[in-house]
Amino acid sequence: MKHNFPPNPPLANLPRRRFVQGLMAGGVLLGLAPASQSTWAQSATEVAGMTTTGSAPVLSGTEFELTVAESPANFTGAPRMATTINGSIPAPTLRWREGDTITLRVTNRMSVPTSIHWHGIILPFEMDGVPGISFDGIAPGTTFVYRFKVQQSGSYWYHSHSGFQEQTGMYGAIIIDPAEEAGPQVDRDHVVLLSDWTDDDPMNVFNNLKKQSDYYNFNQPTVVDFFRDVSTEGLASAISKRRMWNQMRMSPTDLADISAYGYTYLMNGTTPRGNWMGMFSPGERVRLRFINGGTQSFFDVRIPGLKMTVVGADGLAVEPVTVDEFRFGPGETYDVIVTPSDDAYTIFAQSMDRTGYARGTLAIRDGLAAPVPALDRPEMLTMTDMMGSMGATGGGAMAASAVKVRHASTEYGPSVDMRVDTPRTNLDDPGIGLRNNGRKVLTYADLRSIHGPTDLREPGRDMELHLTGNMERYTWSFDGVEFGKSKPIHFRHNERLRVILHNDTMMTHPMHLHGMWSELESPEGEVLSRRHTISVQPAQRISFLVTADALGHWAWHCHLLYHMDTGMFREVVVS
């Protein structure tokens, strides 16, 4: 999509605080102004068939009218054009009921095509909303009717699958109530939708990354870091490590493609300075539905002074596990229950690279605030993150893997700048920046779906794919082959298969398979949790089971939008 953005000023001239804090009342200029509407932080109340909560209207029922258009927005003091649904960022929260057949009429009022993908929703492929895969898209001036039966419950979301429209504001939450009363009982319920906003034209952001992959990375190794390594590892080891990174022409601080120097982080469409508010009464059990609607951002979420009990992952119930903190990537959702007793608590969601944060407040009344934590110190990638078990320095879960690795012949080419021959297979690692931080941090090893696997058959075959990339060229792929050069992957209808993903890059990739559940396995073969999006850490090898019960054409891709756009995308055909 082309917007008429003013010229982008040099990053060096932009105060970092602008991106961290934003405006007190940022939002859509014509329509909704989230941060200025404190009543939206109350529990949902019916108003003429529409409810409001958080910072987006809530639409419920079985018939929905959604209009996609461009609207002016201002989060940082610089007006920009955004892509909105019904004039709102986030888009309206849609409330459905399991078992209902719903109809959504989506009208495109823009001059370019659009689409809506219902992320994590099980439905016929023609309704999945991926242009070029499941339908043609929604042409300007036309209306497309989505109609399908709701077969699940929980917390999900929806977003554009056209161009960079998701980056410019086109995303919203979905809450599906179960057909019968089930799950933990709560007194109050809040959506917490996290996202990242850029004032720049997304195409310009993309071009900056293509020209210089670390364009937004200002956390480069310093002399102070070198002497810290000397004090902990010795001079020879510190010199050797620095020489190795230089020879590979890679950076140990390459945690995120776009930092707070390019992003303002939002919570329910509200900047940190705006301070989104969620109300509660002391002693209430409050469900927080965390949704990562970020384009490129992993968030580490905690509520200082308050434990979180995770009860849902990617919309489905899991055995409760109590933690202080969790990390999740674009596309993932977590439901947590908290029981606050003080007057106010900060919901703190810092970016994985520690350059910025989204922030809101749980409070007993409007206008209260709690202390906002300082950002954690950024940590550098380790040899384990780079080389897998070969880089491990001790025993235990981080140590040697017995996996024999085979690389496709297509991995030896210009689209691949590294290959991991000794991947680690552990799922109990919270990831760089969260290891040994003194807090209980959620890992994939902690999560168990309440009802176990949906299919008790053993997999009939294994399929292995490597996640690959070349940072200097800023290109991403499967097995060294970008989407434009690839052939579809074929699943046989109703087959049970094991999928193995092997990350040959230094970045974490949230992988989203449309249309079917992915049942994550432990290294020992135990089925853990059912997911629609699985984040694969650097130098990690994971496996999951799939029952190919959904005929049709489906997308499978990294949910970092710029990675998907440069080629980490495949078509899956179930026939």
Give 382's pLDDT tier (boundaries 50, 70, 90): confident
Order of strands across the sheet that contains 171-177? 45-47, 50-53, 56-60, 91-97, 171-177, 154-159, 117-119
More reliable by pLDDT, 386 or 320: 320
**Of 15-24, 354-363, 402-411, highest mean pLDDT:** 354-363
Q: What angle do CA 376, 379, 383 make, to 5 degrees?
A: 160
Tokens 């991947």 belong to 423
pLDDT tens per residue across span 269-320: 999 999 999 999 999 999 999 999 999 999 999 999 999 999 999 999 999 9
CB contact at 8 A, 25 and 274: yes
Strands 299-302 and 333-338: unpaired
Statement: residue 5 has pLDDT above 90: no
pLDDT tens per residue across span 71-119: 999 999 999 999 999 999 999 999 999 999 999 999 999 999 999 999 9
**How much is the pLDDT for 338?**
98
Return d(Cα 534, Cα 555) in angstroms, integer. Answer: 15
Token pair belonging to 324: 């202080």
**How much is the pLDDT for 224?**
52
**How much is the pLDDT for 327?**
98
Return d(Cα 261, Cα 20) in angstroms, integer. Answer: 9
**How much is the pLDDT for 9?**
36
**How much is the pLDDT for 132?**
97
pLDDT tens per residue across span 475-531: 999 999 999 999 999 999 999 999 999 999 999 999 999 999 999 999 999 999 999
Statement: residue 16 has pLDDT above 60: no
**How much is the pLDDT for 59?**
97
**How much is the pLDDT for 51?**
31
Nearest Cα neighbor of 564 from 511, 499, 487, 492 is 511
Return d(Cα 288, Cα 297) in angstroms, integer. Answer: 20
